[in-house]
Structure 1
Amino acid sequence: MEWVIAGGGIHGCTIATYLIKAKGIPASQICIIDPHKGPIEKWKDLTSRIAMPFLRSPSVHHCDIHPFSLHYFNDGGSDVFYGKYKRPGLDFFNHHSEAIFTSIGLQERWQQGRVQGVTKSGNHWVVETDSGSVEGKNLVIATGMNERLSVPEWAEELRENRPTQVGHIFQENLPLITPDIAVVGGGITAAHLVIKLSREHPGRVVQISRHPYRVHDFDSDPGWLGPKFLRGFHSLSSYKKRRQAIHDARHRGSVTSELRNRLRRLEDRGAYRFIQDELEGSGVEGSTLSLSLKHSRWEGKTLLLATGFCPKIMKTEWVRELVRKEGLVCAQCGFPIVNEHLEWCDHLYVSGPLAELEIGPVARNIAGARKAAERIIRSI
């Protein structure tokens, strides 16, 4: 096998598409390892849970090699793009992705399994999974961060003791959704979830956030997609300063302007309440959950956390063991130091969060997947 890709989400599938369509690598020389049954299945699951109608990314950000592929794919429907940035509808984006992956036979290159370890054998990588081993000359780690949920400390005990009432919206088994409902979080995931629940249970939903809505069209300034900001970023020899630049550039916990407008209309109609407050304690009495806030109190039946993913991907055990065995170099923040082609060492590439000290703040999103694919194919 020429290429083994660990991760079959947006990043892994985009890289496979570029290898096949842009570099002419035979599909038979590629293997994608992923715990799920097919391409971008986890993406589809997570976005459907919050009923996300449109992507935050503009129409030129997708899994195909041609920037205007989504426009060419459109059969004339007027409702597949939204707003001035032509954000694609989720169903349309997924349909386009499926068509691309089918055309190159990606499903046939799939091995369902979870990576358990990676070792070097001669000039090949051996990837051990719970469904067998795969050997390849080149390895791409594109596992993303979907496996590690961010759960506040105060919620851990509640979630453990009341799994049918308390949970993270992205955990495998969701609690039963029974009003009254509280959604904890102030970002775009929480916003989509509140809109969905407010329509299903009007007047029975509360959103609790430590901060007011932060309105930004994108999760970082579009200048980070090109030389406007990246020229200065790449001139930083200090990876500590690069990490700080990434931190400062990200609009964490933000929502788009159209989402804020939709939420405001729902709030005006009394479909939900927004509470900006700090949590001080929690409790349970019978089947009733309670949250003690600094300036108020909530009682209800269901508590949903929309608090994102844990940023500490380098805690993944098999990645840490690979770093130790191969002597891979990491920055002070624990993330890889890679070359311009995203090589961590010879024939070992990274994408997504692992590539952000080279790609910059957009590394984790769809634009970052395209940039990573372009960098990797330039090296071969």
Structure 2
Amino acid sequence: MVYTSAPLPKKINIAIIGAGPHALTLVAHLLQKSQKMQGKFLVFDRSGQWMSQWFHAFAALEIPHLRSPAVHHPDPNPYALRSFAESRPTELHPPYDLPGTQLFQDFCLHLINKQQLDQCIVPTQVTCLEPITHMRKTHFRLWLDNGDSVMARRVILATGGGNPNLPDWVNQISTPYPQDRLCHSHDVDLRSLSLEGERILIVGGGLTSGHLAVGAVARGAQVTLMARRDFQEKLFDADPGWLGPKYLKEFWAETDWQKRWQMIQQARNGGSLTPAIMMQLRRACRKGKMSLHKQCQIVEAIWQDNSWQVRCHDGTEYQCTRIWLGTGTKLDLRANPILREVLNSFPTTIVNGLPVLDAYLRWPHCELFVMGGLAALQLGPVARNLSGARMASDRIVPALTKPSLALFYS
């Protein structure tokens, strides 16, 4: 069920752009703080469904469980998922009760149904956010992909992880090639593929690459997993110390935004593989179904005779039938067309693609709030994670519910 009142209202109090885990976390926290907020916000997402992209990504890569423990989820009660899982204990995986994918999905749907949140989703995409200032107050006109528009007093941007990060050599490929033979991980759906006898090169040393490799081997492919540095084995993508004052105290004390950005990079330290996935990869290597190549950087790829000829910086050459890129995403708000008008009207300091926001994750001089990885300069290296969604909600919700924290009184 989605928003069914037609036409859209001309004005709304709060517009939330995106319907992923960050948006769901915010809405759940907002309604816990004040049930009066029910009916005062709309959520805009092209899919018309909560968590659509998240659920698809986990299913497409056949990810069996989350990387984060069971206390990290959209519900304001940190123990809500454990309670939900009481009759399904085998779906909390060791070593830290990592929720199984189906369990987490069912839990999110339970939360959505409990709060009747399906009714607030508008199945359309916001294409532009236009700030309109009148009598020293700024509101926003949201332009939608169906040509409609709606005015909002306040906007929360919760659109996720950025654009696919493509290595330079991809844009330098001079030979035409079939599109399905070179894909970013976002475009791979293991469920639909028959790979018996294929040779697949997977580029990247992160967990996504690991899941792709496991899935390809299971379908009969011969896999080469390549990383530009040594493979890193870690339980979590950032040290749990970043969830509290252990590391954040020093991070928040740092007033140089560039240094904060460097602290974030050092903490995340690129992609890493969990011990469980690493064990599966090593097992596949022992069986001769896979090989790991570290400190390899591709400099050239040529498509000829129905296969890829790939050359690395050290002169090593590889031949394969498919290349999959597990090279992550790139966060840069300047590449987001939604924000072009906001940047023009309200310029802010940008550090390597990330905006400087206020303590409530609010864009300077207007009521636009930012969640996810784009809020990392304020929240730290876990900003894009489920724990970061909770941290963001703890900052944004007071600014939405306390009149004294609003920039403009209604």
State TM-score, norm by structure 1.
0.93
Kindly indicate whether the alpha-carbon contact (under 8 Å) linking 1:23 and 1:377 is maintained by their aligned counterparts in 2: no
Q: Is residue 2:398 matched to residue 1:378?
A: yes
Opposite residue 184 of structure 1, the aligned amino acid is: V
Structure 1 residues 173 and 322 mapped into 2: Cα distance closer, same or farther (>3 Å)?
farther
* 1:154-208 deviation line (CA, Å, top 9, x unaligned): 2233796321321112038999664122111111100011011111115x22212
Q: Is residue 2:62 matched to residue 1:51?
A: yes
Residue of structure 2 equivalent to 1:233: 251
Kindly indicate whether the alpha-carbon contact (under 8 Å) linking 1:240 and 1:331 is maintained by their aligned counterparts in 2: no
* 1:278-327 deviation line (CA, Å, top 9, x unaligned): 323222222122212335322222111111112323321231321111x2
Q: Is residue 2:199 matched to residue 1:180?
A: yes
Opposite residue 370 of structure 1, the aligned amino acid is: R
Structure 1 residues 27 and 159 mapped into 2: Cα distance closer, same or farther (>3 Å)?
farther
Residue of structure 1 equivalent to 2:26: 15
Distance 1:25 1:231 in 2: 34
Structure 1 residues 100 and 46 mapped into 2: Cα distance closer, same or farther (>3 Å)?
same
- Could you tell me which of 149, 155, 170 is aligned with 1:133? 149
Stretch of structure 1 that moved more, 272-281 or 133-142: 272-281
Structure 1 residues 245 and 170 mapped into 2: Cα distance closer, same or farther (>3 Å)?
same
Residue of structure 2 equivalent to 1:207: 225
Kindly indicate whether the alpha-carbon contact (under 8 Å) linking 2:252 and 2:378 is maintained by their aligned counterparts in 1: yes
SS in 1 for 2:16: strand
* 1:327-363 deviation line (CA, Å, top 9, x unaligned): 2422443422222211213422111122111111111
Distance 2:297 2:377 in 1: 33
SS in 2 for 1:362: coil
Aligned residue runs from structure 1 range 132-211, under 5 A: 132-146=148-162, 148-156=163-171, 157=173, 161-171=177-187, 178=195, 179-201=198-220, 204-211=222-229
- Could you tell me which of 358, 367, 373 is aligned with 1:353? 373
SS in 1 for 2:113: helix
* 1:71-108 deviation line (CA, Å, top 9, x unaligned): 11114223211112111111111110111012212221
Opposite residue 196 of structure 1, the aligned amino acid is: G
Kindly indicate whether the alpha-carbon contact (under 8 Å) linking 1:165 and 1:176 is maintained by their aligned counterparts in 2: no
Structure 1 residues 113 and 311 mapped into 2: Cα distance closer, same or farther (>3 Å)?
same
SS in 2 for 1:307: coil
SS in 2 for 1:378: helix
Residue of structure 2 equivalent to 1:299: 319
Residue of structure 1 equivalent to 2:407: none
Distance 1:177 1:302 in 2: 12
Q: Is residue 2:234 matched to residue 1:216?
A: yes
Distance 1:343 1:159 in 2: 46
Structure 1 residues 348 and 278 mapped into 2: Cα distance closer, same or farther (>3 Å)?
closer
CA positional deviation for 1:25: 3.8
Kindly indicate whether the alpha-carbon contact (under 8 Å) linking 2:61 and 2:188 is maintained by their aligned counterparts in 1: no
Unaligned runs of 5+ in 1: none
State TM-score, norm by structure 2.
0.86
SS in 2 for 1:79: helix
Opposite residue 69 of structure 2, the aligned amino acid is: P
Kindly indicate whether the alpha-carbon contact (under 8 Å) linking 2:261 and 2:351 is maintained by their aligned counterparts in 1: no
SS in 2 for 1:2: strand
Residue of structure 1 equivalent to 2:269: 251
Structure 1 residues 355 and 25 mapped into 2: Cα distance closer, same or farther (>3 Å)?
farther
Kindly indicate whether the alpha-carbon contact (under 8 Å) linking 2:332 and 2:352 is maintained by their aligned counterparts in 1: no
Residue of structure 1 equivalent to 2:8: none
Opposite residue 398 of structure 2, the aligned amino acid is: R
Structure 1 residues 257 and 242 mapped into 2: Cα distance closer, same or farther (>3 Å)?
same
Distance 1:48 1:70 in 2: 20
Distance 2:223 2:264 in 1: 34
Structure 1 residues 191 and 334 mapped into 2: Cα distance closer, same or farther (>3 Å)?
closer
- Could you tell me which of 348, 354, 368 is aligned with 1:335? 354
Kindly indicate whether the alpha-carbon contact (under 8 Å) linking 1:213 and 1:260 is maintained by their aligned counterparts in 2: no
Residue of structure 2 equivalent to 1:83: 94
Identity level (%):
27
Residue of structure 1 equivalent to 2:287: 269
Structure 1 residues 167 and 150 mapped into 2: Cα distance closer, same or farther (>3 Å)?
same
